[in-house]
Amino acid sequence: GAVVSQHPSWVICKSGTSVKIECRSLDFQATTMFWYRQFPKQSLMLMATSNEGSKATYEQGVEKDKFLINHASLTLSTLTVTSAHPEDSSFYICSARTEWAGSPLHFGNGTRLTVT
């Protein structure tokens, strides 16, 4: 079945540094990719939607200058958390799907970010 690879699976960084998370679709062309964050014991919160070759659409309350999303190809999207702060510590998950409206979402395994 379709696989989405997310890397790294966990990262610890110092406050003020930037962290890049990669999301790759391994065996299909991901027209659309989504980025979420998840706090403990809570559901996924959509941060932004990115379509290949265009600017990401951010959800209300998500700072686009802090969470930079690049969807440069049909198999790769990246999320960069800039100038990370401890409150950015969270579980970040990506998902991807093809352009077909009924296509399922395929999720990555998530990235645990800890900012010290």
Partner 1 sequence: KNQVEQSPQSLIILEGKNCTLQCNYTVSPFSNLRWYKQDTGRGPVSLTIMTFSENTKSNGRYTATLDADTKQSSLHITASQLSDSASYICVVSAINAGNMLTFGGGTRLMVKP
CA angle 34, 110, 4 (to 5 degrees): 65
CB-wise, 13 or 44, nearer to partner 1?
44
Stretch of 13-21, 63-71, 73-81, 91-99 contacting partner 1, by CB under 8 A: 91-99
What is the Cα–Cα distance from 109 to 91, expressed in whole angstroms? 10
Closer CB to partner 1, 22 or 82, in the complex:
22
Q: How many CB atoms lie within 10 A of CB 3?
A: 12
Tokens coding 2 = 């379709």
Binding residues (CB under 8 A) for partner 1: these are: 4, 6, 32, 34, 41-46, 49, 57, 91, 93, 95, 101-102, 104-110, 112
